[in-house]
């Protein structure tokens, strides 16, 4: 094993490898509920070539490699369940190119969401990316790897749908380019009109290779943003409200949230509607379309727009939403995990009832937070129960509640998002057997020694 350490030092230098207790402790856990498991080594490469050398070495020695971005997926995806190497991607964080006219950016495998946001604001103020509400140290690539969702997801789909190309170090050490960048210097398409191979890597949770570069679509940044919050006390109306809102095609992003605290929020479901425009006229026009679309609920008194006072607006408009991170730590102690199944919008009522029911059953504080994906094509329903890491009993209750959520989500016909290893198993048990076989074949082909993030998407 000390040979391995030396070999890693040779690749990245002494300062960027560790097999010490402190690093192993830190990299053996995430903020969620999964039990810790320590790596043998932590390594921080700086270049694609270094990544390649590390992966080749690990493949030769059949040692697991777990790529890690911000480690904020929360569901144990970066916990090295079979030990080995945690490859912290944060040093590979350059923004390599912005094609202003074709509206895409090429980032490295560890570029952070916050880093990309501020870079664009400074150098390309007319462009933006679909930033998620995760804390800003979350990484752009990992977010696409787990099919994350951001501010522009209602308009353009999952953040992974915005990927325009990849550079991947395969588990066997080859460096592959995926998409137009495989034949051209331009990174405008991840596949079309060729076969789209990006699906071999996106959604695989780092089990089929390490992404070292990624092209990502950028979108126009409008000059003004504003917010409206529509409130109803009838959860059964929410799917219809979403259908009407998305029909207007006037909205930047739609989030729905329900929570019992503080008291002014209890009993109601809140639909945050974000709107953008280059002028007051554009904004006003969009608002009117939105108001008109929902007028019938105001007339029937079943719903209405809440008065968002000017001093409260920044809380809704900031990116990422700090309030989410604050809620994440409401019980203090730094523990947070949420289950965010992807379900149909029509499942909102059932999901919100389940959320509250489990909170009562397990005596927990809850918040339901939803992001609309596409024009109400589906939603991410976040079942969030916070816990204090020092309270083992509370952690256990959250674990049980989230397990029930996992079963419930599948019964509803949904899928798990950024699934824990157990949730992956639950999905694979239900999966069409031939599809599962195909997944197994792909994994076996790409990672014959099973070194990449083992126990995740492990077929059979």
Ligand X SMILES: Cc1cc2nc3c(=O)[nH]c(=O)nc-3n(C[C@H](O)[C@H](O)[C@H](O)COP(=O)(O)OP(=O)(O)OC[C@H]3O[C@@H](n4cnc5c(N)ncnc54)[C@H](O)[C@@H]3O)c2cc1C
Q: Tell me which of other proteins, ligand X, none is bound by residue 134, counting a contact when its beta carbon lies within the kind-specific cut-off of 5 to 8 angstroms.
A: ligand X
Q: Tell me which of ligand X, other proteins, none is bound by residue 203, counting a contact when its beta carbon lies within the kind-specific cut-off of 5 to 8 angstroms.
A: none
Q: CB of 157: closest distance to other proteins in angstroms?
A: 30
Residues 295, 404: Cα–Cα separation, whole Å: 37
Q: CB of 288: closest distance to other proteins in angstroms?
A: 7
Among 276, 376, 420, 453, binds ligand X (CB under 6 A): 453
Q: CB of 223: closest distance to other proteins in angstroms?
A: 14
- Interacting span for other proteins (CB under 8 A) from 80-88, 151-159, 284-292, 420-428: 284-292
What does the buried/exposed string (b/e) look like for 30-61 if buried means 16 or more CB atoms within 10 Å of the residue's CB?
bbbbbeeebbbbbbbbbebebbbbbbbbbbee
Interacting residues with ligand X between 180 and 219 (CB under 6 A): 205-206, 210-211
368 lies in the site for other proteins, by CB under 8 A: no
- Cβ atoms of 259 and 272 closer than 8 Å: no
- Interacting span for ligand X (CB under 6 A) from 1-9, 146-154, 176-184, 267-275: 146-154
Report how many residues bind other proteins under the rule CB under 8 A: 26
- Interacting span for ligand X (CB under 6 A) from 67-75, 175-183, 423-431, 435-443: 67-75
* Token pair of 339 as six digits: 């289950």
User: Closer to other proteins at the Cβ: 212 or 232?
Assistant: 232
DSSP H or E run through 436 = helix 433-446
- Interacting span for ligand X (CB under 6 A) from 117-125, 131-139, 286-294, 431-439: 131-139
Residues 370, 377: Cα–Cα separation, whole Å: 13
Q: What is the DSSP string of 189-222?
A: -SSTTS--GGGGTTTSTTSS-EEEEEEEE-EE--
Q: Exposed (0-12), middle (13-18) or buried (19+): which is 83, by Cβ within 10 Å?
A: middle
Distance separating the N- and C-terminal Cα atoms of the chain: 30
Q: Tell me which of ligand X, other proteins, none is bound by residue 328, counting a contact when its beta carbon lies within the kind-specific cut-off of 5 to 8 angstroms.
A: ligand X
Q: Tell me which of ligand X, other proteins, none is bound by residue 132, counting a contact when its beta carbon lies within the kind-specific cut-off of 5 to 8 angstroms.
A: ligand X
Residues 20, 42: Cα–Cα separation, whole Å: 9
* Furthest-apart CA atoms within the chain: distance in Å: 74
Among 121, 174, 233, 357, binds other proteins (CB under 8 A): 233
Q: Supply the angle between the helices 421-430 and 392-411 in degrees, to the nearest 10.
A: 20
152 lies in the site for ligand X, by CB under 6 A: no
Question: What would the x/- binding string for other proteins be over residues 289 to 318, using CB under 8 A?
Answer: --x---x-xx--xxxxxxx-xxx-------
User: Closer to ligand X at the Cβ: 205 or 283?
Assistant: 205
Pairing between β-strand 378-387 and β-strand 366-373 as defined by DSSP bridges: antiparallel
* Token pair of 18 as six digits: 């560790």
Among 70, 76, 171, 215, binds ligand X (CB under 6 A): 70
Interacting residues with other proteins between 203 and 232 (CB under 8 A): 231-232
User: Closer to other proteins at the Cβ: 185 or 301?
Assistant: 301
Q: Exposed (0-12), middle (13-18) or buried (19+): which is 238, by Cβ within 10 Å?
A: buried
Among 263, 281, 360, 429, binds other proteins (CB under 8 A): 263
45 lies in the site for other proteins, by CB under 8 A: no
- Interacting span for ligand X (CB under 6 A) from 14-22, 141-149, 346-354, 442-450: 141-149
List residues bridging with 271 in a β-sheet: 230, 256
Q: CB of 214: closest distance to ligand X in angstroms?
A: 8
335 lies in the site for ligand X, by CB under 6 A: no
93 lies in the site for ligand X, by CB under 6 A: no
Q: CB of 200: closest distance to ligand X in angstroms?
A: 12
- Cβ atoms of 170 and 176 closer than 8 Å: yes
281 lies in the site for other proteins, by CB under 8 A: no
* Token pair of 371 as six digits: 């992001």
Residues 200, 181: Cα–Cα separation, whole Å: 16
Tell me which residue of 357, 340, 223 sits closest to 277, measured CA to CA.
Answer: 223
Side by side, the strands of the sheet bearing 85-88 are 17-18, 41-43, 85-88, 65-68
Contacting residues toward other proteins, per CB under 8 A: 231-233, 263-268, 280, 287-288, 291, 295, 297-298, 301-307, 309-311
Which residues would be at the binding site for ligand X (CB under 6 A)? 66-74, 77-78, 89, 109, 132-135, 138-139, 141-143, 145-146, 148-150, 205-206, 210-211, 324-325, 328, 336, 453
């Amino acid at each position: 094993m000390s040979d391995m350490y030396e070999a890693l030092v040779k690749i990245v230098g002494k300062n960027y490898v560790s097999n010490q207790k402190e690093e192993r402790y830190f990299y053996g856990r995430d903020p969620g509920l999964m039990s810790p498991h320590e790596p043998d080594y932590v390594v921080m490469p700086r270049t694609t070539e270094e990544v390649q050398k590390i992966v080749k070495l690990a493949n030769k020695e059949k040692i697991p490699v777990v790529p890690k971005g911000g480690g904020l997926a929360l569901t144990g995806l970066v916990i090295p369940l079979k030990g080995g190497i945690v490859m912290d991607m944060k040093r590979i964080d350059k923004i390599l190119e912005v094609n202003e006219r074709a509206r895409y950016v090429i980032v490295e495998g560890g570029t952070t969401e916050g880093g990309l946001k501020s870079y664009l604001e400074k150098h390309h103020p007319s462009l933006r990316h679909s930033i998620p509400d995760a804390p800003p140290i979350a990484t752009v690539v990992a977010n696409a790897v787990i099919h994350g969702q951001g501010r522009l997801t209602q308009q353009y789909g999952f953040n992974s749908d915005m990927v325009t190309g990849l550079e991947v170090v395969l588990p066997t050490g080859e460096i592959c380019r995926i998409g137009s960048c495989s034949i051209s210097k331009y990174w405008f398409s991840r596949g079309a009109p060729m076969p789209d191979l990006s699906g071999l890597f996106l959604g695989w949770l780092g089990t089929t290779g390490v992404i070292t570069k990624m092209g990502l679509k950028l979108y126009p940044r409008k000059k003004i943003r504003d917010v409206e919050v529509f409130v109803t006390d009838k959860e059964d109306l929410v799917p219809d409200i979403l259908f009407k809102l998305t029909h207007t095609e006037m909205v930047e992003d739609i989030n729905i949230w329900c929570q019992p605290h503080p008291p002014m929020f209890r009993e109601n479901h809140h639909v945050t509607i974000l709107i953008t425009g280059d002028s007051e006229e554009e904004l006003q026009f969009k608002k009117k379309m939105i108001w008109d679309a929902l007028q019938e609920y105001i007339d029937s008194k079943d719903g209405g727009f809440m008065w968002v006072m000017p001093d409260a607006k920044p809380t809704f408009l900031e990116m990422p939403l700090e309030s989410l991170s604050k809620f994440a730590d409401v019980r203090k102690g730094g523990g947070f995990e949420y289950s965010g199944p992807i379900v149909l919008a029509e499942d909102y009522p059932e999901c919100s009832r389940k959320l509250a029911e489990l909170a009562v059953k397990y005596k927990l504080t809850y918040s339901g937070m939803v992001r609309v994906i596409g024009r109400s094509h589906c939603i991410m329903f976040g079942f969030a129960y916070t816990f204090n890491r020092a309270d083992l009993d509370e952690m256990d209750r959250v674990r049980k509640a989230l397990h029930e959520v996992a079963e419930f989500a599948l019964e509803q016909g949904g899928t798990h998002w950024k699934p824990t290893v157990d949730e992956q198993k639950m999905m694979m048990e239900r999966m069409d057997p031939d599809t599962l076989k195909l997944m197994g074949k792909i994994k076996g082909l790409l990672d014959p020694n099973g070194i990449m993030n083992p126990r995740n998407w492990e077929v059979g």
